[in-house]
Structures are given as C-alpha cells and as structure tokens.
Copies of this chain bind each other. A is one copy, B any other.
C-alpha cells in the first residue's frame, strides 16, 4: 500500500437505514465521489439516532481515518441529533450560530418560508466548525476537524460534497467549476450531458436540480452543473460546453 494513500471513513446516522425501510445510497455515492480525488473508503458504519452511539463512532473513525463523512440527522425534527452529538464528540459547545442563521434567513426570505423554532434548529453549529454549503435546500452542513457533517437526503449530500472537495488533500489534485442554468430541467439536458461525459473522459460531471418557491407562489427552477478535472484546459472546455447546454434543449 502506498504510504501516502488517503483514506476516509463514512458514518451513516439513522434508524430508517437500520430498520431496512430506507436503502442507504450515501456510502456508495461518497465512495464514488472520493475515488477520482485519490481518496478511498477504509470503513463505513451505520448507527442509530442515539447520541452515545454517534459520539463513539465519530471518535473511533476520526482517530483512524484521514477524513470522516457523516450523513443524516441534521434536519429540523426532534430525532435530528447529529450536530449535538458531533459537538459532544469533540467536547465543543453548540448553539445557534449567526452565520448559519444568516444563510437560513436569506434562503427562507426568498421563498417566503417562515423561520420557525424547528427550522432554527438547523442553525445549531458546534463552536469553531466551518460551514458546508447546501445548494439544494440552504441549511448548511459543517466541518469539525477532519469530520464533514452532511445531510442524509442523497441529492443534498452530493451537493455538499462539491463544497467539501476543495478542502480535501487527495492523491490527485482536481479543480472544479459550476454552471447554474435557470429554467432548465434535468431531463432537458440529460442526453447531451451524457454525450459530453462520454466525449470528455478526463472530466467528471455532476448534475443537481434546484427548486425555489417564489413569494408569489410560482416555482423557479434550474440545474446546477459541476465539472471536475485535474486537467485545467479540459475543465475550461467543459465549462463552455456546459453553458452551451442551456441553448440546446
């Protein structure tokens, strides 16, 4: 084994996975996202919505692997206890944080959504953590030391990984760019995006639909397209091609 091999652990948090009701796809998704970055998964664990179980697993994985990715348990409901458990695992305090609150306020203002006490819960961030952008529903994830705390909804977790990629020291250095298309549906561009991916094997492409409710009740929608590569010239070319997709529906 290469001594410089970078390895990660994954911690999936959620009774719904252990009950068999929901099929986890995040372990595989994270493995596939990290692979082109030169990072491989060394271990994955699934634990229930139980603070002691989360604390123990986070500490064990954080000590053993270069990076740890957790998924699940950062929503607004009573069973969302991940943020508090991560704070406990690293002996940090936790409270509603202004930067996270600002993100929620801005996001909800656009959609006319009320910032209820329950939603305020999603601004609870451990002291000293850095936020992780959520391009799908706004509410941020966060990073404490080598642990990245992501949402459980796979589309959101995938979007958060994009924000995290730049913080990872991988075996291969990659760059990324994002193109945000409005009034475009994934299905409109899926074929051409697939062709593009086939034609540019050195670039990996990601597609993330977004939806936003406007105050007048109408729906604004679009797709955020992300390209990633270690070849900067190829990446630039990919960016132009992605922008052109909007005109080729």
Chain A positions near chain B (C-beta within 8 angstroms): 15-25, 27-32, 35, 40-48, 53, 75-79, 113, 116-119, 121, 153, 155, 176, 178, 185-188, 190-191, 193-194, 197, 204-209, 211, 213, 217-219, 221, 226, 228
By the criterion CB–CB under 8 Å, are A18 and B43 in contact?
A: yes
Tell me whether A79 and B205 are in contact in the complex, defined as CB-CB below 8 angstroms, given that A40-B19, A118-B190 are known contacts.
yes
Residue of B nearest to A57 (CB): B43
Number of copies: 2
Chain A interface, DSSP helix/strand/loop, else mixed: mixed
By the criterion CB–CB under 8 Å, are B45 and A18 in contact?
A: no
A119 to chain B, nearest CB (A): 4
A selection of 21 A-B contacts at a CB cut-off of 8 Å is: A17-B28, A17-B44, A19-B31, A19-B228, A20-B30, A20-B35, A22-B208, A24-B27, A27-B46, A43-B45, A44-B45, A45-B46, A75-B190, A78-B205, A79-B206, A113-B185, A113-B187, A116-B187, A116-B190, A185-B213, A187-B217
Residue of B nearest to A218 (CB): B219
List 5 tightest A-B contacts by C-beta distance, closest first: A20-B31, A118-B190, A78-B194, A20-B32, A44-B46
A209 to B15, CA, bound (A): 14
A41 to chain B, nearest CB (A): 4
Tell me whether A187 and B44 are in contact in the complex, defined as CB-CB below 8 angstroms, given that A153-B209, A211-B219, A226-B21 are known contacts.
no
A217 to chain B, nearest CB (A): 5
Residues of B within 8 A of A27 (CB): 17, 20, 24, 46
Most B Cβ at <10 Å: residue of A21, A53, A75, A221: A21
Tell me whether A19 and B35 are in contact in the complex, defined as CB-CB below 8 angstroms, given that A209-B213, A217-B185 are known contacts.
yes
By the criterion CB–CB under 8 Å, are A116 and B191 in contact?
A: yes
